[in-house]
Amino acid sequence: MRQIFSATLAILTFLSLWEVLVWVNDWPNYKMASPSDLWPAFWRFKGLFLIYGWETLWRTVVGLLLAILVGSAIGMLMGLSRFAREGLYPLLVGFNAIPKATVVPIVALIFVGQHDLNTVLIAFMISFFPIAVSVSIGLSTLEPEYRDILRSLGASKIAIFWKIALPKTMPEFFGALKVAVTLAFIGTNLMEIVSPHGRGLGALFDSGKTNSDYPLMFAVLISLAVLGIGLYYVVIMLEHFIAGWAEREID
Amino acid sequence: MKSQEENGLIRINNVSHTFNTSSGKIRVLDKLTMSVPKNGFSAIVGPSGCGKSTVTRLVAGLLQADEGSVWLQDQKVTSPRPVVGMAFQNPVLLEWRSILKNVMLPLEIVPNNLNMFEREARARNLLELVGLNGFEEKRPSELSGGMRQRASLCRALVHRPEVLILDEPFAALDAFTREDLWQTMHRLRSEEPFTGLLITHDLREAIFLADEIFVLSGRPATLQHTEVLAKRGQKNLDDLYTPEASQTLNTLREQIKIARQNEGRRI
């Protein structure tokens, strides 16, 4: 309850400061739209916001799920095998260092017209790295004693993985997933804006740009933020159920 | 063939072991021979880093000796066997499980014909024995260090192992908690007999818990001295303050001193 109150207070304060800033400087809305301009812009295109918002959301979530699958698999490989870790790290870091904006036209060219696939692919590419790294660190830093208590009972490697390694890695995994959620949104919108196919919130942003409808552009940004917050809290909830044991009461 | 009683349930036969590290080969054990009779309790003391923990890993089957052999119940140890229970200095409880579920863990691994209810009853029974009743549903992080170590002991014993290996399990505890746990050990041993092998730095702990104490020399470790205690089996804390106990303590101190002096002189 207190959490909701403090979050609402922070958001309201932010919005009023923004409004006051625009009002005091007397900026026209093509320079800086104010919060009060956003609602009309949003309301005018509310149907499109719903359709495009859904498109952006599902493609982000699919990209993220793909990132979880592939990222965890790479992370497991690197966490359990030193050889794989030393071999894959430079490749992964190099891949991650490439700005994804430059990959967008390439992907768009490879799968021309496959807009959903393209977008999902970029969302995936931008967000799997933190998951792979943290899963691999979680697995490779498992204290040998944890392994020994099961190994001394004659447990198989698979049993050790399921009973100890996997649950012990969950806090690191969720830490990375929180980063990956926001990254995946960036990936989706990158594709939607750089290589627009008339779908998703990115396309709405683009049409705002073409029509010099600045409040619309800002409204898109805000709705992206809202989607991002929503998905972030879904992850927080999952974390609470799956890795709640790692939470500590702080007074 | 002699019985395990005389011959030793745990037998370490002329064992040598060398570790390959980045700074070269380190020979930790040199022709080590010792045995622990069935339902006996032996302690191993010796200078730090002399290879005591290596002995426990060999007995548990987590490590194979380069030379010589380790025998459990007249079977050569070539891989881990569920007849062993282990507890370390770090209680290594799984933070995502309740204390009860932590104690039940070995029963999920070791083949047994207990059903869910029997497993839980077995774990609850042990927890009660060590004084942890009422804490079954707590998380490990909610317990004190001593309580966590008690739970770790229960986990080591829940599958009724023949052998309990203790690698400095009480080293990180304060003096009073440690004495409490020593008494708990005796209680557990009288309730369900097992063969114990304890690694420790604490000579009084060795005297209080063990029937027999092996002093290892410095690295590479050989058996330097065996101290057979006058008072075996159940003891109480007063037994630590008898003239015999002081005598034993002195002998052990003397032996450790010799072990440390000789360290480095041998190759």
Q: How far is A168 from chain B (nearest CA, A)?
A: 8
Residue A60 clears pLDDT 80, i.e. is over it: yes
Query: What pLDDT score was predicted for residue A183?
Result: 92
Which residues neighbour A128 within 8 Å (Cβ) at sequence distance 6 or greater? A66, A67, A68, A70, A71, A74, A180
Q: Does domain A36-243 fall into CATH 1.10.3720.10?
A: yes
Identify all chain B residues contacting A153, using CB atoms and an 8 Å cutoff.
80, 82, 84, 106, 109-110, 159
Parallel, antiparallel, or unpaired for β B163-167 and B195-199?
parallel
3-state helix, strand, coil in chain B (%, to 5): 40, 25, 35
Is the pLDDT at B19 greater than 80, yes or no?
yes
- Find out whether A149 and B62 touch, Cβ atoms under 8 Å: no
Q: What is the complex's ipTM, to 2 decimals?
A: 0.79
B63 within 8 A of B85, measured Cβ to Cβ: no
pLDDT at A42: 86
B81 interfacial to chain A (CB closer than 8 Å): yes
CB nearest to A154's CB, from B82, B88, B155: B82
Evaluate if residue A251 carries a pLDDT over 60: no
Strands B195-199 and B223-228: unpaired
DSSP 8-state code for residue B98: -
CB contact under 8 A, B94 and A145: no
Taking CB atoms and an 8 Å cutoff, what residues of chain B touch A145? 88, 90, 92
Nearest to A149 among B86, B95, B110 (CB): B86
How many angstroms separate the CA atoms of A202 and B243, rounded? 86
Using CA atoms of B76, B77, B78, B83 in order, give the dihedral in degrees to the nearest 10: 130
Average pLDDT over residues A63-79: 93
Give the residue carrying structure tokens 């770090």.
B90
Q: Which residues of chain A are within 8 Å of residue B155 when distances are taken between CB atoms?
A: 149
Q: Which carries the bigger pLDDT value, residue A232 or residue B226? A: A232
C-alpha closest to that of A64 among A212, A181, A208, A230: A181
Which chain B residue has its CA at the smallest distance from A244's CA? B96
Q: Tokens 């070539």 correspond to what residue?
A: B78
Question: Apex CA A51: angle with CA A47 and CA A55, to 5°?
Answer: 160
Instruction: Output DSSP code: residue B210.
Output: -
Region(s) of chain B under CATH 3.40.50.300: 1-83+163-267
Q: Which of B209, B179, B178 minimizes the C-alpha distance to B194?
A: B209
Nearest to A246 among B84, B92, B95 (CB): B95
For the entire predicted model, the pTM comes to 0.79
pLDDT tier, B101 (very low <50, low <70, confident <90, very high otherwise): very high
Residue A177 tokens read as 């997933």
- B88 to chain A, minimum CA–CA distance in Å? 8
What does the pLDDT average to over A31-36?
Answer: 84
Binding-face residues of B in 197-236 toward A, CB within 8 A: none
Query: Is the per-residue pLDDT at A248 higher than 70?
Result: no
CA distance, residue A143 to nearest chain B CA (Å): 9
CB B164 within 8 A of CB B195: yes
> Residue B5: how many CB atoms within 10 A of its CB?
11
Q: What CATH architecture does domain B1-83+163-267 belong to?
A: 3-Layer(aba) Sandwich (3.40)
Residue percentage of chain B with pLDDT more than 70: 96
Model confidence pLDDT, tens digit, residues B106-154: 999 888 888 889 999 999 999 988 888 899 899 998 898 889 999 999 9
Asked if pLDDT for residue A211 goes beyond 70, the answer is: yes
Type of residue numbered B252: L
B49: left (phi over 0), alpha (psi -120 to 50) or beta: left
Taking the C-alpha atoms of residue A166 and residue B126, their distance in angstroms, rounded to an integer, is 28
Give whole-number Cα distances, A238 to A166, A169, A219, B245, B261, in Å. Answer: 16, 15, 29, 58, 58
Q: With cut-offs at 50, 70 and 90, classify the pLDDT of residue B267.
A: very low
Of B60, B96, B165, the CB nearest to A167: B96
What is the average pLDDT value for chain B, to the nearest integer?
Answer: 86
Residue of A148, A159, A170 with shortest CB distance to B62: A148
CA angle B216, B217, B218 (to 5 degrees): 120
A140 and A85 Cβ atoms separated by less than 8 Å: yes
Q: Alpha-carbon distance A57 to A116, whole Å?
A: 12
Q: What is the DSSP string of chain A?
A: -HHHHHHHHHHHHHHHHHHHHHHHHT--TTT---HHHHHHHHHHTHHHHHHHHHHHHHHHHHHHHHHHHHHHHHHHHHHH-HHHHHHHHHHHHHHHHS-HHHHHHHHHHHTTT-HHHHHHHHHHHHHHHHHHHHHHHHHHT--HHHHHHHHTTT--HHHHIIIIIHHHHHHHHHHHHHHHHHHHHHHHHHHHHHS--S-HHHHHHHHHHHTT-HHHHHHHHHHHHHHHHHHHHHHHHHHHHHHGGG-----
Domain ranges across chain A: 36-243
Q: What are phi and psi of B217, to 5 degrees?
A: -75, 175
d(CA A124, CA A118): 10
Give the phi and the psi of residue A15 in degrees, each rounded to 5: -65, -40
Residue ranges of A 36-95 with Cβ closer than 8 A to chain B: none
Q: Is A36 exposed, middle or buried (0-12, 13-18, 19+ CB in 10 A)?
A: middle
What DSSP designation does B74 have? T
Report the sign of the C-alpha dihedral through residues A89, A91, A97, A103, in that order. Answer: negative
Distance between CA atoms of residues A58 and A63, nearest Å: 8
Answer for the pair A117, B42: CB distance below 8 angstroms, yes or no: no
**Predicted confidence (pLDDT) at residue A113 exceeds the cutoff of 80:** no
State the Cα–Cα distance between residues B99 and B161, nearest whole angstrom: 20
Token pair 């700005």 in the structure block, residue: A99
CA distances from B157 to A200, B79, B152, B160, B192 (A): 60, 20, 9, 5, 9
Q: Which of A67-81, B80-94, B162-176, B252-266 has the lowest mean pLDDT?
A: B252-266
Distance in angstroms (rounded) separating the CA atoms of residues B3 and B175: 39
Asked if B88 reaches chain A (Cβ–Cβ under 8 Å), the answer is yes
Over range B198-223, report the average pLDDT: 87
Model confidence at A249, pLDDT cuts 50, 70, 90, reads: low
Chain B residues near residue A164 by CB distance under 8 angstroms:
94
Does residue B193 have a pLDDT over 60?
A: yes
